[in-house]
Structure 1
Amino acid sequence: MIVDGGPSGSGAFLGVERSLSGRAWRQRPAAAAVVRAHMQGLGLDEPMARALASRGVGADQGADFLTPTLKALFPDPSSFLDMDAAAAAIVDALSAKARVWVFADYDVDGAASAALLVRWFRAMGADLPIYVPDRLTEGYGPSARAFDTLKGQGADLVVTVDCGAAAHAALDHAASIGLNVVVIDHHLMREQPPRALAVVNPNRPGCNSGQGNLAAAGVVFVLLAALNREARRRGLFDGRAEPDIRAWMDLAALGAVCDVTGLTGFNRALTRLGLGVMSAWGNPGLKALLAAAGAEARPATTNHAGFILGPRINAGGRIGRSDLGARLLSTDDPAEAARLAAELNALNVARREVEAAVTEAAVRRVEASGAHEDGSAVVVVEGEDWHPGVVGIVAGRLRERWRKPVVVIGVDAVAGVGKGSGRSQPGVNLGRAIQAAWEEGLLLAGGGHAMAAGLTVASDGIGAVRDFLNDRLAGESQVAAGQDWVELDILIDPGAATRDLFDAFERMAPFGPANPEPLFALDGVQARDAQPMNGGHVRCRLVGADGASIRAVAWRCADLPLGQALLAGQGGLKIAGRLKADDWNGRRGVQLEIEDAADPRMA
């Protein structure tokens, strides 16, 4: 049975004012008129229509949301500030047979962005070498040292992707040595752009593209359309096939998912269609990496991109060679792809071990001091020799645990420098606060997004940065904490949690920021056959009053109130969770991934 489970808009869903994670529950608010419009116009049942309306899908937007197309949603490349100038500069260099390099960030988005450009150049009969800075020795983004190296190797033009928008000093140096630069980025930046032939960034002040939710790979994908248009205008396709950029949408989707971008509008279309392209597993690097991970070549989902492929591609930049990911995604040689995939998979195993050790140490340090529950706006924790390649992942884990922004800093005691990464809560713009700290002279470097940011700081200045961030974010964090609801879609009985229900809501995929995965509630269930798993996970069956049950899992919670309630086999629980496909041994079922629980006896 599926029922409407609580008040809409305001008020506690199922009466849960404080769950085992300390949060209140509410049903996602939705305008009744829009719900009716979706039911009538799209032929949807009420729960599905309500889910669309609650995600801001307007009465006239449902068809484009459920069946997005590039034709309907692709933006005019010229709407991006400097896009035409960037395309002209790159085609100029290509036509002149100038030496062009792509300079990429070392994460998935940077690797995918670089691979997109490499593939376009290859289709045009040209080589495009890749330069990716080393995380440990060069840090993030362009530097004078890197530009000197590229100039020494004969570069005439450098295209930076997923970096460069804030690299004023480095780009000033590039200009001083006669090296031309085009910047393609999406990170927050200052009003005044750096010195370059073009700075394309949908988050650049003055850019009217309306595409600020794109990952860098999405911006590069639009650039490829601009390059095709510019090359077509110059007659470069006379006697040559025009590159079909749609064949590379899998790389754009990979960047969008792994950079945790808002999956709405054009970005949603690009991601959904890109996952469709990925499903053919035609990219040799992605196919090899999937095999190295021991995963089946099934239709691609955000799970493939975000949890199987992404961490392995990132492993090269985190604790290995920074260019491995970009090389993997750009190669057409299956043998080379297999070698690179095996190396990245091994690095990912090592990365997990390093991450677990740093996470454990950080949790001990913070919880011993009480900094996670002292009312502060942000947790800033540092430790000597914490690998800078994993601090961002650890910050994300701790943010989930404590429900507040977290910055984790690895300190090099010999150099007296800490390199850190932060993850934030919705409603708290951590990237803007980090940028402000840099402008105040408290950081050696810093910047990022609202939800994620990086910084470099003198080790003796960490205390001042902690105080600054707590003061700066106090107001935002107070508001965000009051809005840290568990937002649910519908109440169901365990017996109604079927594959048909899962498949119906999968029409809304891909899920991510701005399009959250549907969250279902169960009421009055008991956890049975609960078992702890490696990594602090808990498996169990959730059994309703009528005896119907569903398999369930809760991640990284064995030492938290949620995990303890499940392991104790408590009954009468209210459960919030996401339905996931369960195809083990061909069963084609579902299981519930538990997000939260409430015990009425503990209210």
Structure 2
Amino acid sequence: MNIQNPNRCFLGVSASVTGRSWADRLDARGAQTALAIAQRHGVPDLLARIVAGRGVALDEVPQYLDPSIRALMPDPDSLTDMGAAVDRLASAVLKGESVAVFGDYDVDGATSTALLVSLLRTAGLDPLFHIPDRIFEGYGPNVGAIEQLAARGVTLLVTVDCGTTSVETLAAARRLGLDVVVIDHHLPGDTLPEVTALVNANRQDDLSQLGHLCAAGVVFMTLVGLSRRLRDLGHWTADRPAPDLLQSLDLVALGTVADVVPLRGLNRAYVSKGLIALRRRQRLGLTALMDVARLDGPPRPCHLGFLLGPRINAGGRIGDAALGTRLLLTDDPMEAKRIAAELDRLNTERQEVERAVLEAAEAEALAATGLEDAGASIVVSGEGWHPGIVGLVAARLKERFNRPAFAIAFNGETGTGSARSIPGVDIGKAVHGAVEAGLLVKGGGHAMAAGLTVERRRLGDLRAYLEGQLAASVETARADRALAIDGALTAGGATVALVEQVAKAGPFGSGNPEP
């Protein structure tokens, strides 16, 4: 939504002390929609303005203010290949096969892995899981790990939050005799891997319109489909009852917020109901993590993103990548406390490493470009930077320079890096294009974040390519920098009742900014 319009200047403020204009989030048509929302749904005028300013249609207001799984989650079979995935998983359960879950080393990967492993355990299996080491294995499935799983008798490999672009690696898995199911959300390349099923709402032939889900959200839909199939097959009994999947929404909410996907549609229901599940403190690992993070009050989305998420990520960044998943799966109170304490320690260490690298990265960026004369993107690199924190550094640079940022850690002639983008600039598409152009060894991601591997000799070519690919969209995105104002209040109008009403527009986060 372009709010950089002089006719929408709010209270006549064309430039605040920070240099940003104040813009009314609503144009004339939006103001009419807000009035209609207030009249039809009986909500206060300010809440109606907030809702209208987030593009909510008149008939969608009840679902927006009270998001529910029942109303917002479509049939899992609306996702391409979901039927094949559920069939293969159900067959593995009924036959007692050896199943391995291969996840990513971030929060979305940890929660996705824990979700699937938990259900398979409830169904009677004892699945293996593998979270790759960020430095020694890198992102996604790798042949070495798959060979080890095959040697342990695994017949079905399920990749979660990865696998969509792993064409050659998953072909090797098939040659080893493994069936493969991919459950993911990352953007695909030109060629999809030949697997039993690839469930990803971002594949071109998927019509579900659920591309905004993170992997944990897609895994949850898979669990709904699988539990239903097992019920139809008579697998759930009085002695082995079907799980209450709503109790697992705490994990889905954590993955959704930590992966910074838009809080709209089904994601709003995931987070809203997941926070309710989290407040019950029934999952030992998350309870222990909340305690070490000194989270005393009811958890909110900001706590997921800035307290719990970074601690789970710390294991994958600078420690044991599987720590987060083990924490989410444990039913041993002492183990939960031990792992939570270790993740808290690693997070403190991560902060120290990040500060040192960020200082060097900012100095390089300023020396190369300056704050205002930077090109379409910021690309910084360093020898010996810790690969586990380059994503955090890229995020900091993106915020400071208000443009996409790439941070690359070199070890000799090859570097691994991460990119973070600004709204309106699809960084995943640019990285995929760079792979196709032969500028990257590998890379992938989605609109707001991406990972990559690059040879040092191609770094200059990569910078030039990104400048050409991103210049127009970055210019447009940076032009829309007005501070969007939802409404004005007198001091007397700021009541507890109003705060409670405004809170109904939550959960707030990516794609649903706080008023």
Please say whether Structure 1 and Structure 2 have the same fold, judged by a TM-score greater than 0.5: yes
SS at 2:504 equivalent: helix
Residue 392 of structure 2 is aligned to residue 393 of structure 1: yes
Q: Which amino acid aligns with 1:107?
A: D
Q: Which amino acid aligns with 2:478?
A: A
Q: Is the deviation greater in 346-355 or in 174-183? A: 174-183
SS at 2:488 equivalent: strand
Report the Cα offset of residue 150 of structure 1.
1.2
SS at 1:386 equivalent: coil
What pairs with 1:137-216 in structure 2 (closer than 5 Å)?
A: 137-216=136-215
1:281–1:287: 8 Å Cα contact kept in structure 2? yes
Aligned match of 1:231? 230
1:12–1:25: 8 Å Cα contact kept in structure 2? yes
Report the Cα offset of residue 470 of structure 1.
0.9
Aligned match of 2:431? 434
SS at 1:228 equivalent: helix
| Distance verdict in 2 for CA 1:90–1:395, change over 3 Å | same
CA shift digits 1:452-473 (9 cap, x unpaired): 1111101221111111111111
Residue 443 of structure 2 is aligned to residue 422 of structure 1: no
Aligned match of 1:569? none
Aligned match of 2:36? 37
1:9–1:28: 8 Å Cα contact kept in structure 2? no
Q: Take 2:19 and 2:162, find their aligned partners in 1: how far apart are those partners?
A: 38
CA shift digits 1:490-543 (9 cap, x unpaired): 23355655554433211111112221111xxxxxxxxxxxxxxxxxxxxxxxxx
What pairs with 1:108-507 in structure 2 (closer than 5 Å)?
A: 108-239=107-238, 240-296=240-296, 298-413=297-412, 416-493=413-490, 496-497=493-494, 499-507=496-504
Report the Cα offset of residue 23 of structure 1.
3.7
Task: Indicate which of 20, 23, 28 corresponds to 1:26.
Answer: 23
Q: Which amino acid aligns with 2:503?
A: E
1:81–1:208: 8 Å Cα contact kept in structure 2? yes
1:395–1:407: 8 Å Cα contact kept in structure 2? yes
Q: Take 1:496 and 1:399, find their aligned partners in 2: how far apart are those partners?
A: 36
CA shift digits 1:424-469 (9 cap, x unpaired): 1111111100110011111011111111111110122111111111
Q: Is the deviation greater in 132-141 or in 39-48? A: 39-48
2:189–2:432: 8 Å Cα contact kept in structure 1? no
1:9–1:29: 8 Å Cα contact kept in structure 2? no
Q: Take 1:375 and 1:19, find their aligned partners in 2: how far apart are those partners?
A: 23
Q: Take 1:185 and 1:436, find their aligned partners in 2: how far apart are those partners?
A: 20
CA-atom RMSD, angstroms? 1.8
Greater fraction strand: 1
Report the Cα offset of residue 13 of structure 1.
2.6
Q: Take 1:14 and 1:246, find their aligned partners in 2: how far apart are those partners?
A: 45
1:190–1:205: 8 Å Cα contact kept in structure 2? no
Q: Take 1:356 and 1:500, find their aligned partners in 2: how far apart are those partners?
A: 42
| Distance verdict in 2 for CA 1:8–1:46, change over 3 Å | farther
| Distance verdict in 2 for CA 1:277–1:10, change over 3 Å | farther
SS at 1:188 equivalent: coil
Report the Cα offset of residue 25 of structure 1.
2.9
2:49–2:487: 8 Å Cα contact kept in structure 1? no
2:14–2:20: 8 Å Cα contact kept in structure 1? yes
Q: Take 1:427 and 1:46, find their aligned partners in 2: how far apart are those partners?
A: 29
2:107–2:255: 8 Å Cα contact kept in structure 1? yes
Q: Which amino acid aligns with 2:458?
A: G
| Distance verdict in 2 for CA 1:9–1:40, change over 3 Å | farther
1:8–1:28: 8 Å Cα contact kept in structure 2? no
Report the Cα offset of residue 322 of structure 1.
0.5
| Structure 2 unaligned spans of 5+ | none
1:8–1:29: 8 Å Cα contact kept in structure 2? no
2:167–2:191: 8 Å Cα contact kept in structure 1? no
Q: Take 2:19 and 2:229, find their aligned partners in 1: how far apart are those partners?
A: 55
Report the Cα offset of residue 282 of structure 1.
0.8
2:4–2:480: 8 Å Cα contact kept in structure 1? no
2:93–2:124: 8 Å Cα contact kept in structure 1? no
Report the Cα offset of residue 19 of structure 1.
4.4
Report the Cα offset of residue 42 of structure 1.
2.2
Q: Take 1:216 and 1:474, find their aligned partners in 2: how far apart are those partners?
A: 30
Q: State the structure with more CA Rg.
A: 1
Q: Take 1:189 and 1:509, find their aligned partners in 2: how far apart are those partners?
A: 31
Q: Which amino acid aligns with 2:222?
A: L
| Distance verdict in 2 for CA 1:383–1:371, change over 3 Å | farther
2:33–2:52: 8 Å Cα contact kept in structure 1? yes
SS at 1:182 equivalent: strand
Report the Cα offset of residue 485 of structure 1.
2.6
1:314–1:325: 8 Å Cα contact kept in structure 2? yes
Number of aligned residue pairs: 510
Aligned match of 1:568? none
TM-score normalised to the size of structure 2?
A: 0.96
Q: Take 1:59 and 1:287, find their aligned partners in 2: how far apart are those partners?
A: 39
What pairs with 1:526-537 in structure 2 (closer than 5 Å)?
A: none
| Structure 1 unaligned spans of 5+ | 1-5, 519-603
Q: Calculate percent identity across the aligned residue pairs.
A: 46
| Distance verdict in 2 for CA 1:37–1:229, change over 3 Å | same
SS at 1:508 equivalent: coil
Q: Take 1:490 and 1:276, find their aligned partners in 2: how far apart are those partners?
A: 29
What pairs with 1:93-104 in structure 2 (closer than 5 Å)?
A: 93-104=92-103
Aligned match of 2:10? 13
SS at 1:492 equivalent: coil
Report the Cα offset of residue 32 of structure 1.
2.9
Aligned match of 1:56? 55
